[in-house]
Structure 1
Amino acid sequence: MNRKPFITCAVTGGGGGAFKSPLVPVTPEEIANDVLAVAEAGAAIAHVHVREPDTKKPSRRTDLYAEVVERVRARNRSIILNLTGGMGGDLDVGAGADPFAFGPETDLVNATERLVHVQALRPDICTLDCGSYNASAGSLVYISTSDQIRQGAAHIRSLGVRPELELFDLGQVRFVLEMMDQGHFDAPTMIQFCLGVPYGAPADTVGMKAMADMVRGHDVIWSGFGVGPMQLPMVAQAVLLGGNVRVGLEDNIYLRRGVFATNVDLVGRAVTIIEAMGADVMGAEATRDLLGLPMRD
């Protein structure tokens, strides 16, 4: 059991939550305000996507990320900012006779283009998705090839940014362990187990334990989360297995059935679960020390 876990809050995400709940932040001001609020509620890390303010659609625009960062840093220098590096991996394979007739959901760019905003802003952390997977029951595939992962890892290291490795299934854990052995990541390696995402590892005890068992004995600091109704149960499961936790509206928009949550609600519920288990939530400054992240100007 982890007696001092830290909490990551994924405040908006790149999925459809903003079209389903009015409480998902959309504009840079709304996103920044939620980051500041979850910091007060107990989150040490904020995982940040941005959206087009007029359409709510997910975006890769550097100016939107810059506004979020500037607004947060004007009021809080301690909260750890984790900007996504995962946008730009969607391939909507042609469903008819021509698989190369890519559909409207395609947004596919190379490994370094996915990190343009990271290069410009140099956040504390950025994510690196470490494998491809079927992202829907239809023809949508998330693409992150072995070469793209290596290229992304090298580019992130060159920027002096800490990668958080997003792992969606057991084969991706295996690949990351090989990369660790080859020296691609500085120790301790920061890992996030992403459970319940179509169609990866399930958000249940078996799925999280299998992934945790694979990294046990390696120099890693890991977190885990479940999507949808399994988000809060996976808080307890991660702590029991020795990990850290992630909550937030990227992964779950409900506090309970039929009741929309805010990010502060979800962080507050995570704090309650952790403390009820006899553990203490680690604050942002202590988490910086744990991860070796100095304050940035």
Structure 2
Amino acid sequence: MPLAPNRDVFITCAVTGAGDTTGRSPKVPVTPEQIAAAAVEAAKAGAAIAHIHVREPGTGKPARDPALYREVVERVRDSGVDVVLNLTAGMGGDLVLGSAEAPLPLSDAGTDLAGATERLAHVAELLPEICTLDCGTMNFGEGDYVMTNTPAMLRAMAGRIQALGVRPEIEVFDTGHLLLAKWLAGQGLLDDPVMVQLCMGIPWGAPDDIGTLMALVNNLPEGWIFSAFSIGRNQLPYAAQAVLAGGNIRVGLEDNLWLGKGQLASNGELVERAVTIAVAMGARVLGPSEVRERLRLTRHW
């Protein structure tokens, strides 16, 4: 695809994620009320899209209970603040081996494997404009956890998402994941424009060096729309890198807790900084209505 800096940029804010971050910052939202408030805060700061995970309110652990998603979505929609909702569909693909010497039976601590229909139950009920589709399998961390998304699972989930009239955001964590995305598109399971999130710097996926990013960008088919992000201290530099590469921006407490050295961030502050970076680079930041038009989203409510 031709490369040029993006002059019309949209910002996604990933407000909480599923990682073990709640003990590292009191600003990470946990309850549905807090997660909805974070999405509204991000929208007011300039994010057109809010990417939503939910957590168990009492523990902060990752969850996929449709009732928790329902409360978040209803609170955001009732707020009067316009933002495109992007619900994760990544939960339910978690596999944790027993140990290096005894991989079976699987560990009860962290293993959560569900079928395609169950993984998309909250999407089918709430019909967000976007949901994620993690387009591959990879190791995470230094233990025995594997993010598991087989080709058969991806094909079933992509077909279900398409039938619901929801736009999938294809999460690409490594180069082979982009091949899986092209495979799904070749079977007619991804409608145009295909929307891709390049997830960089996550062990043990694609590193966040510029060469690897551009290798992915250079292999995106014509007409595909992408965002890119990195984690931790490289999140905000990647806001600029994504724009230079012709893409869009993702920030948020799912990926990074810090605004600066020793300064814990809020989601709104990270979005504000991303807006400043984009505008200083000569880009215009798009609002939700413009993003709906650009991505041809279907609003179900």
What TM-score do you get using the length of structure 2 for normalisation?
0.96
Distance 1:294 1:60 in 2: 23
Query: Contact (CA 8 Å) 1:17, 1:24: kept in 2 or not?
Result: yes
Give the whole-Å Cα distance in 2 for the aligned partners of 1:28 and 1:16.
17
- Superimposed CA distance per residue, residues 16-64 of structure 1 (whole angstroms, 9 cap, x where no aligned partner): 1112110001111111111111111000000000011111111101111
Q: 1:174 aligns with which of 162, 173, 179?
A: 179
**Other-structure match for 2:67:** 63
Which 5+ residue runs of structure 2 have no aligned equivalent? none
Following superposition of structure 1 onto structure 2, how do residues 241-256 of structure 1 map, counting pairs within 5 Å?
241-256=245-260
Residues 82-137 of structure 1: CA distance to partner in whole angstroms, max 9, x if unpaired?
Answer: 00000111111121433112121211212221111111111111000000000111
**Counterpart AA for 2:17:** G
Equivalence map 1:208-227=2 (5 Å): 208-215=213-220, 217-227=221-231
SS of equivalent residue, structure 2 residue 199: strand
Asked if residue 238 in structure 1 is aligned to residue 242 in structure 2, the reply is: yes
The match for 2:276 among 272, 286, 292 is: 272
Preserved contact between residue 49 and residue 83 of structure 1 (Cα < 8 Å): yes
Letter in 2 for 1:168: F
Aligned 8 A contact 2:166 2:297 in 1: no
2:207 aligned with 1:202, yes or no? yes
For the pair 1:290 / 2:287, whether they are aligned, the reply is: no
Q: 1:77 to 1:288 in 2, by over 3 A?
A: farther
Alignment partner, residue 42 of structure 2: 38
Which stretch has the larger CA shift, 104-113 or 9-18? 104-113
- 8 Å Cα contact 2:133/2:158 also seen in 1: yes
Whether the aligned pair in 1 keeps the contact of 2:32 and 2:54 (CA below 8 Å) is: yes
Q: 2: CA distance between counterparts of 1:211 and 1:191?
A: 11
Unaligned segments of structure 1, at least 5 residues: none
What is the identity, as a one-letter code, of the residue corresponding to 1:220? W
| Alpha-carbon distance in 2 for matches of 1:204, 1:74 | 41
Shift of 1:292: 1.1
Q: How does 1:104-119 map to 2 (within 5 A)?
A: 104-119=109-124
2:22 counterpart residue number: 18
Deviation of 1:295 (Å): 3.5
Give CA deviations for 1:181-234 in whole Å, capped at 9, x if unaligned: 22111111011001111210012212211111110x422111111011110111
Point out the more displaced range, 97-106 or 85-94: 97-106
2:33 counterpart residue number? 29
Asked if 1 retains the 8 angstrom alpha-carbon contact of 2:128 and 2:299, the reply is no
* Counterpart in the other structure of 1:2: 6
Is the partner of 1:17 in helix, strand or coil? coil
Equivalent position SS for 2:268: helix
Task: Quote how far apart the aligned CAs of 1:156 are.
Answer: 0.7
Give, in angstroms, the shift of residue 145 of structure 1: 0.6
Aligned to 2:145: 140
Residues in 2 aligned to 1:205 and 1:173: alpha-carbon distance in whole angstroms? 17
* 8 Å contact kept, 1:228–1:252: yes
CA gap of 1:96–1:169, structure 2 versus 1, over 3 A, is: closer
Cross-structure match for 2:188:
183
Distance of 1:39 and 1:274 partners within structure 2: 16
- Give the secondary-structure state (helix, strand or coil) at the position aligned to 2:235: helix
- 53-62 or 96-105: bigger deviation: 96-105
Instruction: Number of aligned residue pairs: give it.
Output: 296
Query: What is the distance in 2 between the residues matched to 1:247 and 1:207?
Result: 20
Partner of 2:165: 160
By how many angstroms is 1:254 displaced? 0.8
The whole-number CA distance in structure 2 between the counterparts of 1:181 and 1:240 is: 28
4+ residue runs over 4 A deviation: none
- Quick one: which amino acid aligns to residue 148 of structure 1? M
Give the match for residue 52 of structure 1. Answer: 56
What's the % identity of the aligned pairs? 51
CA contact (8 A) 1:77 1:295 kept: no
* Aligned residues of 2:165 and 2:298 also touching (Cα < 8 A): no
